[in-house]
Structure 1
Amino acid sequence: MRGVLRLALAVCALATFIHAAGTAWAQDKPLRVALMPFTNTMRLMEMYQPLRESLQATLGRPVYLLTAADYESYFRLMREQGYDIAVTGPHFGAWAVAHGARPLLRYGPTLKPILVVRADSPIASPLDLHGKVLTLSNRLSVSSITGQAWLAGLGLTEGRDYRLTVSPTHTTAIMSVVMGEADAAITTHTPVQQAPEDTRKAIRVIESPKGFPHLFTIASPTMPAEQAERVKAALLTFADTAAGKDFLESSGYRSYRDISAEDLESLRGPVSLLSAIVPEAAQ
C-alpha cells in the first residue's frame, strides 16, 4: 500500500510538472531533483524517497525525482539545465558551477577511486592487471576518469596491458567482478558500502592514493539565489531528522558539508579530463 501511495504521489507530481512547464519560476512549481544514475532507477528512486518527502514537506511544494538512462544522457541534461536541483558527481558539479550553477552542499566523505576484485583474487595491486579484464562503471564517472588516470600514472595502458569493458552503473560493475565476468572494477567506496552483505564479503578493495570531494548538490543557474538558500536550509533540516540521519548513514554519505573553494580547485583535473571526453563540455 505504501508503494502504491508513493507511486501515486510521483504521478501527481509529474502531472503538475507538465502543467507548469513553460511558466515562470514560481514557488508552487514542482522542484525537479536530478539524480546521477549510479545505480538502477528503481533503487535510486527508493533510496531518495525520504529526501523527496522531506523537501516537499519543508518547502511546501511538489518535488519530482528524475534521472537518466546513463551518464552521457545525465550530463546532457545538466548542460541543458533540465533540472532545478542536481545530486551529481563532483566533476559534473564543478563543471556546472563554472557555468553558473549555485553550489549548495556536498556529502562529507572523500571519494577515492578503488579497484574491486574478488576476495580470492591474486590481484594485489594495479600492476597485477596485466592481461586482465577491467570494467568501469561508466566512462564519464569521476571514479572511471580519475581511476584510469591512476593506472596511466603507473604505466598501464588500456588495450596493451588490460582489456576494458564498460558497465552501465557502479552496481553492475561490482557484480561483474562477483560473477567472474571481469577480474577487477574501478568504482568508489560508497557503492561498495551500499551493496548487500553477501556481495561485500565476496570482494576486496585496493585503494588509490588520490581523493576528491563526494557528490555535489547544486542548484540550476536559473534558480533565484533566495530560493537556492531555502533549498539548502531544507537539506540541512532533513539531515537533522531521524529519516535524514538514517539516509546519510545507510548510504555511506554520513553528512552534508559546504562546497569550498578548495573542493572546486581540487576538481580542475577531473573537469579537464571530462572536457577532453565530451567536447561539448569545453564550450
Structure 2
Amino acid sequence: MTWGAERDKQRQVTTARPLVFGILPFMTPVAIFTRFAPLRDYLSQQIQMSMFLETSPNFSAHLSRISQRRYDLLVTAPHFVPLAIDTTYYHVVAKSLDNIATCIVVKPNSAIQELSDLSGKSIAIPPETAMVTMVGREMFRDAGLIGEKTPQYMSFLTHNAAYEALTGQQIFAAVVSSNVLTTVSTTDYRRLACRDSFSSLGVLISTELPPLLQQQLTTAFLEIDKNPQGLTVLKTMKYTGFKVSENADFQAMRPYADRLQELELMSTPSP
C-alpha cells in the first residue's frame, strides 16, 4: 500500500467517529478526567483527529470493554496488559517512566510503627483486582500476618476512597498507590512501608488502526516530554514521560494477570 493510500485509509477510518481513548478507573471519574483530559487534548492536537476519553465504573467493566475491542488507545495498569494482549486486539507501544509504589499508610499520630502492629486490624484497600491491593496483601503476608494474624481487609471502589477511609475511626491503615499520595498533603498521613514493583502504566494501541496512525500516536507519547505543551500536560498528570515498550516487557505481570482473572470468577477472594 502506498503512503497516499495509507493516508486515505486512515482518513476513512477516523472521520466516521472520534478515536476512543480508554483509561483504567483507578481514581474517581472526576479525578481521572482532571488528570487525563489534557493528555487527550494534546494527543488529539498532535494527530489532528478528535478523541473521546472514557473510563469505566469499575475494573470488571474495564476488563470487559478491553475484551470487546472498545478502545483505539488504551492506558491501563500493568497487570491488565497481558490480558489485553491476549485478545490480539492491542499491542504495547510505550510505558510510563514512573514506577509505582505500593504503600501502606497510617494516620500521622498513629501508634502503629510497623506492619506487625496491624495484626488483626482493619485495613482499607482498593478493589481486590487492583495490582496495588495484590502487592499490599503480599507485603502483609511477607511480614508474617497470616492465619489469625491476617488483617481485616475492607475493600473500597477506588484508590482514592481507600485512602480517604483512613480518616475514619475504625480504619488503622490503608493500602494505596504512590500516585494517590502525590495528590494529598504529606502531613495527612505517615508511610509505614512501601514496595516499588512496576511501571505504573502501559500504553496500548488497537492493532486494527492504520499503521500510520499507530505510529503517530506512538510518537506523540514518546516525544511528549520534548514538547513545551507536552511538559505542561505531564505536570498536570503528575508523570515524567513515556518510553518505548513492547508486549514482552509485561510478561512478568502474568502471575498478577492470572490472579486478576481468578478474582473476576470469585465472589469472595481468599485472604
In which range does the TM-score fall when normalised by the shorter chain?
Answer: 0.7 to 0.9
* Matching residue of 1:263: 249
Q: Give the partner amino acid of 2:125.
A: L
Distance 1:25 1:168, change over 3 A: farther
**Candidates 34, 42, 51, aligned match of 1:46:** 34
Is 2:194 the counterpart of 1:205?
no
In the alignment, structure 1 segments of 5+ residues that lack a partner are 1-23
* Matching residue of 1:131: 120
* Matching residue of 1:27: 14
**Candidates 129, 152, 174, aligned match of 1:163:** 152
**Candidates 220, 224, 239, aligned match of 1:238:** 224
* Matching residue of 2:24: 36
**TM-score normalised according to structure 2 size:** 0.84
* Matching residue of 1:152: 141
1:250 Cα deviation from its structure 2 partner: 4.3
1:25 Cα deviation from its structure 2 partner: 7.2
Q: Give the partner amino acid of 1:217.
A: V
Aligned residues of 1:170 and 1:191 also touching (Cα < 8 A):
yes
Q: Which moved more, 1:92-101 or 1:59-68?
A: 92-101
Count of residue pairs the alignment pairs up = 254
Q: Distance in 1 between matches of 2:102 and 2:63?
A: 20
Q: Distance in 2 between matches of 1:90 and 1:173?
A: 20
Q: Distance in 2 between matches of 1:257 and 1:85?
A: 16
**TM-score normalised according to structure 1 size:** 0.81
Aligned residues of 1:115 and 1:207 also touching (Cα < 8 A):
yes
1:63 Cα deviation from its structure 2 partner: 0.5
- Alpha-carbon RMSD across the aligned residues, in angstroms, is 2.4
Percent of aligned positions that are identical: 19
Question: Which one has more relative contact order, counting CA pairs under 8 Å at least 6 apart?
Answer: 2
Q: Distance in 1 between matches of 2:113 and 2:246?
A: 35
The C-alpha deviation readout for 1:1-60, integer Å capped at 9, x for no partner, is: xxxxxxxxxxxxxxxxxxxxxxx9703231101111122112211221211111111211
Is 2:54 the counterpart of 1:66?
yes
In the alignment, structure 2 segments of 5+ residues that lack a partner are 1-10, 267-271
